[in-house]
Amino acid sequence: MKKIGVAILGLGVVGGGTYRILENRREFFKRTQGLDITVESVLEPNAARLAELGVPAEKAVSNIAEAVCDPDVSVIVECIGGVEAARDYVLGALHAGKTVVTSNKELIAKYWSELERTAKAHNAGLYFEASCVGGVPIVRTLLDGVQANEIDCLMGIINGTTNYILTEMTEKGVSYEVALEAAKSLGYAESDPSADVDGYDAAYKLSILASLAFHTKVPLSKVFREGIGSVSEEDIADGKALGYRLKLLAVGKRSAEGIEVRVHPAFVRGDHPLASVDGCFNAVFLTGDAVGDVMLYGRGAGSLPTASAIVSDIVYAATHGEHRYSTFRNTAAPEKDVKFAADFKSAYYLRLTVCDEPGVLAKIASVLGKYNISIIELIQRQAGEGKCTLVLITHETHERSALNAVAKLNATDYAKVESLLRVAL
């Protein structure tokens, strides 16, 4: 029976879950996979955490060198988070010929090319299923499940914190601030939630997933990013009345105009499968030219779901004779012939406060028409003396056209655009 020795760096939420699975299911892996997987060492400075998990004293190491130099260790699991220290640890392990499994999406998004180059040079594996969408096997699907397809579109809800917040706002009608505090109280949001609510976490994941889906490097710098901090309960209620639900959406598309990658709040039609993905759950919707539409759904974070993905990578590496690397030339910058579409196309939701007088709607339609923007749906309601609120859903248009139309309307004396949000038709 093949023996696999593992060292775990960091016993936080994910590292602790990984330790539990490996310890509790050793016999299961022997029976089902023909592997004897043992945790040989752990790097964790918190003695209380070691005791909580029941880690034997002889397995605790005080520095990365002890784990990397151990001849019984063939796989290093990195769960310490952050970038600089993690990068040094992972590079050290790869230089030593150890396979690395990581859940660190920021590390992969920023240093993937360097890490993979080092892994190849030392015949080591680099696996990161757990970096994207927790326990949902999206990386493995893109690498090993849909190879027959050209993927034209990847769209998903890939951050559980923001999805929980937006679900609370939708279902309970509460403000962003109230929903955020609820997320913090349940442990779904950090005390500093900016990585999630400002869209950074989703942008890291989209950079990785779009690269895999489109077989070309999609750097983080090419990802358009907008968070959910300015979303109001009024916008969510208006969208809901029109049959839409608001999500922090990650979108990757490939067309003749180039590759577009963007993370931002967007309304999704109520009959779209992504509309029913609520709470801290995640989902990714793929469109391939052969398979058509595919959606993967599950828990996007958490101790055991993410640890499940890590253990999956350990088993995959141990049961495959050759390591699997990128299907494209993985450099820091994209290939010169790859085009990126900055001026993407979308439908739009606009909420305006306008003067309640004859002819105003015609003036607004005229401004929109100058930028080739047409209206699909409209709601009008009173908003106080001499004012009313207009809510519009437009047909698809270019982002630049939408922004220019908003600027033009805001320069008038009869209309002010209160909100502009994208719509996934």
Same domain, 42 and 166: no
Q: Are 218 and 334 in contact (CB under 8 A)?
A: yes
Mean pLDDT of 184-192: 91
Residue 102 lies in a domain: yes
Residue type, 366: S
Residue 59 gets which letter from DSSP?
G
Can you give the pLDDT at residue 187? 87
Residue 191 gets which letter from DSSP?
S
Residue 323 lies in a domain: no
Can you give the pLDDT at residue 66? 95
Q: Which residues pair with 394 in a beta bridge?
A: 375
What's the Rg (C-alpha) of the chain? 24
Same domain, 205 and 233: yes
Strands 258-269 and 415-424: parallel
Which one is catalytic: 205, 217, 247, 253?
205
Mean pLDDT of 412-420: 97
CATH number of 47's domain? 3.40.50.720
Mean pLDDT of 174-193: 94
Residue with tokens 């893109």: 142
Residue 320 lies in a domain: no
3-state SS, residue 395: coil
- Cα separation of 45 and 51, whole Å? 11
Residue type, 355: C
Can you give the pLDDT at residue 385? 84
Residue 153 lies in a domain: yes
- The residues, any chain, with a CB within 8 Å of residue 51's CB and separated by 6 or more, are none
Same domain, 185 and 219: yes
Residue 268 lies in a domain: yes
Q: How many alpha carbons fall within 13 Å on the CB side of residue 201?
A: 28
Mean pLDDT of 239-243: 95
Same domain, 214 and 266: yes
- Give one DSSP letter per residue of 298-328, joined into a string: EE-SSHHHHHHHHHHHHHHHHH-SS----SS
Same domain, 151 and 282: yes
Number of domains in the chain: 3
Residue 304 lies in a domain: no
Angle (CA) 315 127 34, round 5°: 10
| Res. 382: pLDDT tops 90 | no
| 287-341 pLDDT, tens digit each | 999 999 999 999 998 899 999 999 999 999 999 989 999 999 999 999 899 999 9
- Give one DSSP letter per residue of 123-140, joined into a string: T--EE-GGGSSTTS-HHH
| Res. 425: pLDDT tops 90 | no
Same domain, 262 and 207: yes
Same domain, 409 and 360: yes
Residue 333 lies in a domain: no
Mean pLDDT of 73-96: 97
Known active-site residue 205: yes
| Res. 72: pLDDT tops 90 | yes
Q: Give the DSSP H or E segment for 80.
A: none
Same domain, 411 and 352: yes
| 88-126 pLDDT, tens digit each | 999 999 999 999 999 999 999 999 999 999 999 999 999
Domain boundary (271, 299, 327) is at 299
- Cα separation of 116 and 125, whole Å? 8
CATH number of 215's domain? 3.30.360.10
- Cα separation of 43 and 61, whole Å? 5
| 159-181 pLDDT, tens digit each | 999 999 999 999 999 999 999 99
Task: Give the residue among 79, 62, 7 at the shortest CA–CA distance from 40.
Answer: 7
Same domain, 6 and 126: yes
| 336-374 pLDDT, tens digit each | 999 999 899 999 999 999 999 999 999 999 999 999 999
- Cα separation of 311 and 376, whole Å? 48
Same domain, 277 and 163: yes
| Res. 383: pLDDT tops 90 | no
Can you give the pLDDT at residue 287? 97
Domain boundary (274, 299, 324) is at 299
pTM score above 0.85: yes
Give residue 30's domain range. Answer: 2-134
Same domain, 407 and 282: no
Can you give the pLDDT at residue 419? 97
Over pLDDT 90: what percentage of the chain?
Answer: 95
Same domain, 159 and 294: yes
Can you give the pLDDT at residue 203? 98
| 244-290 pLDDT, tens digit each | 999 999 999 999 999 999 999 999 999 999 999 999 999 999 999 99
- Cα separation of 122 and 119, whole Å? 5
Residue with tokens 């790869």: 94
Domain boundary (102, 134, 166) is at 134
Residue 123 lies in a domain: yes
CATH number of 376's domain? 3.30.70.260
3-state SS, residue 257: coil
Can you give the pLDDT at residue 417? 98
Residue 275 gets which letter from DSSP?
G
